[in-house]
Amino acid sequence: MDKPLIRVVSAEISRQGCYLITQRPAHAQLPHLWEFPGGRVRKEEDDSSALRRALTQRIGCAGSVGEKVLEVSHEYEHYDVTMAVYRVEPAEEPMAASVAAVAWVHPDNLTDYPFPGADQRTVDLLLSDDGEE
């Protein structure tokens, strides 16, 4: 049986050496896990418009979507995810609009936060390249 393939976009937002991550709400799929802010790409959207919409809904601000940093795929039990991560410069101060919490986390401390599979692969790749920009 073929599993659905879901395209997700996420934002790499950094400030003073820390990354912005968000905690999934209790009612969400994969509750309480942490992730880079973003969301699913709808059929009528391109990556940039989907990311701006998701950021406005989840952290109360959109921003300027820059270059794609990386793209990963991950297989979950009932669906597969392709996640593209873009650099984003937020237009306002991010806040917990429809997420449980936001946190600015230094790369050395990202391993203290539990992430879903696709996001964990992203964290691993970002940490392997940390400092090479």
pLDDT score at 131? 40
Average pLDDT value for the chain = 90
Q: What is the span of the domain harbouring residue 27?
A: 5-129
The CATH number linked to 59 is 3.90.79.10
Q: Is the pLDDT of residue 82 over 80?
A: yes
Structural domain count, the chain: 1
pLDDT digits (tens, 9 = 90+) for 26-81: 998 889 999 999 999 999 999 999 999 999 999 999 889 999 999 999 888 888 98
pLDDT score at 133? 38
Q: Which residues of 55-87 are buried (b: 16+ CB within 10 A; e: fewer)?
A: bbebbbbbbebeeebeebebeeeeeebebbbbb
pLDDT digits (tens, 9 = 90+) for 56-69: 999 999 889 999 99
